[in-house]
A and B are shown apart, each in its own frame.
Chain A
Amino acid sequence: MSAAAEARRAETARPASTIAVRMAGVRKAFGERIALDGADLTVVWGEVHALLGENGAGKSSLMNILAGFYGADDGVVEVAGQPAAFAEPRAASAAGIGMIHQHFKLVGPLTVLENLRLACGPRAGWRSRDAALVAMAGMAKDLGFTIKPDARVDQLSVSEQQKVEILKVLLGGARILIMDEPTAVLAESEAAAMLQLARRLADDGRAVILITHKLRDVSATADRVTVMRAGRTVIAGAPARDVTSAELARAMVGGETDILRRGTAGPGETVALELRALSTAGAEHDVPLREISLTLHSGEILGIAGLGGNGQSELLEAIIGLRTPTHGDILLHGEPASAFPAARREHGLRFVPADRFRLGLFGSLTLAENLAVPALSGRQPERRYWVTRAWMRGRARRSISDYEIAGGTADTQARLLSGGNAQKLILAREFEGAFSVLVVHSPARGLDVRAAAAVQNRLLAAAARGVGVLMISEDLDEVLALSSRVAVLSHGRLSAAVAIEQTDRAELGRLILEGA
């Protein structure tokens, strides 16, 4: 690592330039919403610096400004002692800043090598495809990666894609690395390896900024930690070993939070939903489901654990009727489910998708309209020929107060809601009327602690009322906290469900990684 050695030399020669990044008083607003309200961050060469905060605290916004994706409205940004306000990402990468995004910025239909050539070809000065190939092979060997250069990126697994991202950033000559929740999508052992890699890259003399909301990542890897809350810095660069987890948690959340009620509803006798050897075809980039069988009883929460991209969305879509199975049966209350989503809904099936705006809400419709859609769409709509705004608003006001939806009135467009409130809106809509089966997918994804607890409590309450809840979640902690039984989804196959008392984190982790 000659670049790293240079950095080391520079460091010893000029102690003043040990600071890699200095950001102070950074502000950024998106329309009326203030994302950053005077955030500070200082990172020195050779450290892993954890940037901690709840969702929406402004971590990603701050880093997007550093990496040139957004412009700051106000504040100081210095890189290696020089003022820097990057107008574009490539200006930032030319200055040695590389960001590994949570949602990878790779061009899916292109190959690995094409992606690398695209991102670093001009800078690395590769004259030919072969030059790129040699450089890639060298770097991959150095980091211990094995990736086929001619594979299409959208056909790689998530962890492989992450490795391509890292190769891309390093081959582009990055000396300041920003990793946005790198462990969020990885299995536990993969996550540990990723943190070790971060450590090693920092030891080589780079500066590594680790965005995370997992306290465990901080204690395992970071040298120093900065905590953000509501767009401001609340702990600025404290040595990681000097702060306790409790202190960090309090700084992140601010004040007391409702602790999740760890209730586990016992399974009832009646079967609410049954899947028999359900299989789907894998079109384009989807994961095919392979002979999935499960039985969901009334009044229980059946947790489906597993890493994202192993068939979770496909399972939800198959159950609600968006995907036609190639074979196998879906039984609702013992009867074969209709082919039409509308009929399944009328039969008491409700769902909460992971991607709130793809499957859940209509962004440009108002809250009132979103809430009214299912009431108008079935075979027995509440109203047909005289749907008034007043009627919709009236219904909406009830739901808004019952579900404590903040940040909007009945006439606000749904896309203006924050993640937590959007999720509450979906719950308000789905929980309306009588229902008996609920399928949820990562219900607390992207929510802060308080909002997550509110949503999870709703699920527990529904189960207590006798609803069968199938909870597909990519967060093992959530599965362990809420489910009465648990099964693991891996590569489109589902393991047999076991009672939560008869298993533990290690056993589930093994199933998640290796499959049933």
Chain B
Amino acid sequence: MSVLPYRLVLSPRLAVPRWLRAATLVGGIAFGLICCAIFLIAFGVPAGDLANQFILYVFGNSAGLDQTLTRAISLTLVALSVALCLRIRFWNIGVEGQLWMGAIGATAVSFYHIGPWFLRMPLMIGAAAIGGAVWCGIAAVAKIRLRADEVITTLLLNYVAYLFAQDLLYGRWRNPTDQFPVSPTFPRYEQLPTFGGWHLHYGVFIALAATAFCWWLCRYSRFGLLSQAVAENRTASRALGIPVARITLTTACLAGAVSGLAGFSIVSGEEHKLTQFVGNDYIFPSIAIAYLGRANPVGVFIAAIAVAGLYTAGDSLKAFYQLPDTVVVTMEAFLLMTVAAFDVFIRYRIGLLRSQPKAIRAKAVPPAEARGTGA
């Protein structure tokens, strides 16, 4: 019934050599970039300009580097959030909502003048973390208590948080001076300082600290091992006395808090106010970065810078060739698709087998196939 003379046969690999893992990742990224290039050329970008766009504008000049690194701060944080959740096989597709809630929390502290000025920044950070943690915690509780699929709940909570922010911006928090849907600009002591004349701000330290913390958490704390156990087998974990529900909830809240910090870093470091566009376009990049970084905090950090570069390139593409916003997310999808597809080489040995006769009554049996050396 199969028409092809050969068929693909996958058999699971038992042990995977280190070089193969590296080669697969490199191959996947390379193939993904080729796909992106073909895609861009198809949409009218001259092939000769691609190298310029990708290298020169991204890392070659200080403006590009500034933009890339600034973007990498929030990307690192949201991707760490996804990566933490992936360790317990909890799909956090709700970083955008958590980021919004973090931004709302931080702005609330500013808007209602909570605490003296010198405590304002720590309070904003705390509020942002709590906002994010609560938002992700809701999905975790729904999963633990009601077995509601976290993929859907976290995703839909994005919309809820976004609409909540819009409600605030068009309502109570609307800037009284010009009636624009943005909150009043933060005073200086609520803004993260920047480096010299750059846009790059001290949020870098938050991203670095979060990366280091997550790295320690996964590598050296007992959580690292127990979360792996929970991810692998919940029933066995419970039987061995691992508090599965508590680990799930703690991880989700921690991850939400990290996303919330991204919200803080954007409102306090970049925008200096809550705007309508604070939390746009983070869902898929966070997943792509977490996956490209192999859910390893250090890997995530590196991948975040690379993907941030993609955005900088995307911005110049938008400016020069009138390509729409979604071009970047499409490129990310290409990259993740090829990297994930290349993973098949890690997981399986792939062989081509000659399609064989369906029934012995069929006369056309290739004798060489049936009789091996054993005959």
On whether the beta carbons of B241 and A387 are closer than 8 Å, the reply is no
Total A-B residue contacts, Cβ distance less than 8 Å: 158
Q: How many A residues face the partner with a CB closer than 8 A?
A: 68
Check: B299 CB closer than 8 A to any chain A CB.
Answer: no
On whether the beta carbons of A416 and B241 are closer than 8 Å, the reply is no
On whether the beta carbons of B239 and A351 are closer than 8 Å, the reply is yes
Contacts of A78 in B (CB 8 A): 370
Check A88/B220 contact, CB under 8 A, given A74-B373, A341-B238, A362-B232. no
Please name the residue on chain B nearest to A84 by beta carbon. B360
On whether the beta carbons of A387 and B224 are closer than 8 Å, the reply is yes
Cα A460 to Cα B358 with chains together (Å): 53
On whether the beta carbons of B226 and A74 are closer than 8 Å, the reply is no
On whether the beta carbons of B236 and A360 are closer than 8 Å, the reply is yes
- Smallest distance from the beta carbon of A209 to chain B beta carbons, Å? 17
Cα A388 to Cα B225 with chains together (Å): 10
Check: B8 CB closer than 8 A to any chain A CB.
Answer: no
On whether the beta carbons of A83 and B226 are closer than 8 Å, the reply is no
On whether the beta carbons of B356 and A87 are closer than 8 Å, the reply is yes
- Smallest distance from the beta carbon of A20 to chain B beta carbons, Å? 12
- Smallest distance from the beta carbon of B224 to chain A beta carbons, Å? 7
On whether the beta carbons of A24 and B374 are closer than 8 Å, the reply is yes
Q: Mark A71-97, 1 if CB is under 8 A from B, else 0.
A: 111111111101111111011001100
> B9-17, B70-78, B331-339: which lies at the A interface?
B9-17
Cα A321 to Cα B11 with chains together (Å): 37
Cα A390 to Cα B356 with chains together (Å): 50
On whether the beta carbons of B374 and A416 are closer than 8 Å, the reply is no
On whether the beta carbons of B229 and A91 are closer than 8 Å, the reply is no
On whether the beta carbons of B353 and A76 are closer than 8 Å, the reply is no
Contacts of A369 in B (CB 8 A): 225, 228-229
Contacts of B11 in A (CB 8 A): 30-31
Check: B355 CB closer than 8 A to any chain A CB.
Answer: yes
Check: B35 CB closer than 8 A to any chain A CB.
Answer: no
Contacts of A416 in B (CB 8 A): 14-15
Check: A322 CB closer than 8 A to any chain B CB.
Answer: yes
Q: Mark A7-47, 1 if CB is under 8 A from B, else 0.
A: 00000000000000000111100111100001000000000
Check: B56 CB closer than 8 A to any chain A CB.
Answer: no
Cα A320 to Cα B239 with chains together (Å): 7
> B169-177, B256-264, B361-369: which lies at the A interface?
B361-369
Contacts of B243 in A (CB 8 A): 342, 377
Check: B233 CB closer than 8 A to any chain A CB.
Answer: yes
Please name the residue on chain B nearest to A414 by beta carbon. B232
Check: A374 CB closer than 8 A to any chain B CB.
Answer: yes
On whether the beta carbons of B221 and A373 are closer than 8 Å, the reply is no
On whether the beta carbons of A362 and B229 are closer than 8 Å, the reply is yes
Cα A362 to Cα B231 with chains together (Å): 9
Contacts of A38 in B (CB 8 A): 374
Cα A84 to Cα B357 with chains together (Å): 8
Check A373/B375 contact, CB under 8 A, given A95-B359, A362-B232, A385-B220. no
Please name the residue on chain A nearest to B232 by beta carbon. A362
Residue among A75, A85, A383 with most chain B CB within 10 A: A85
Contacts of A336 in B (CB 8 A): none
Check: B371 CB closer than 8 A to any chain A CB.
Answer: yes
Q: Mark A327-355, 1 if CB is under 8 A from B, else 0.
A: 00000000000001111111000010100
Cα A98 to Cα B141 with chains together (Å): 48
Check: B33 CB closer than 8 A to any chain A CB.
Answer: no
Check: B240 CB closer than 8 A to any chain A CB.
Answer: yes
Given contacts A76-B372, A91-B357, A374-B240, 8 further A-B contacts (CB under 8 A): A32-B15, A83-B365, A84-B370, A322-B239, A344-B241, A376-B225, A384-B221, A386-B221
Task: Name 24 interchain pairs, CB-CB below 8 A, sorted by A.
Answer: A26-B374, A30-B14, A32-B15, A38-B374, A71-B356, A72-B372, A74-B374, A76-B371, A82-B360, A84-B365, A320-B239, A340-B241, A362-B228, A362-B236, A363-B233, A372-B225, A373-B225, A374-B241, A377-B240, A381-B222, A386-B220, A413-B14, A413-B15, A416-B14
Residues of A whose CB lies within 8 Å of any CB of B are 24-27, 30-33, 38, 71-80, 82-88, 90-91, 94-95, 317, 320-322, 340-346, 351, 353, 357-365, 369, 372-374, 376-378, 381, 383-388, 413, 416
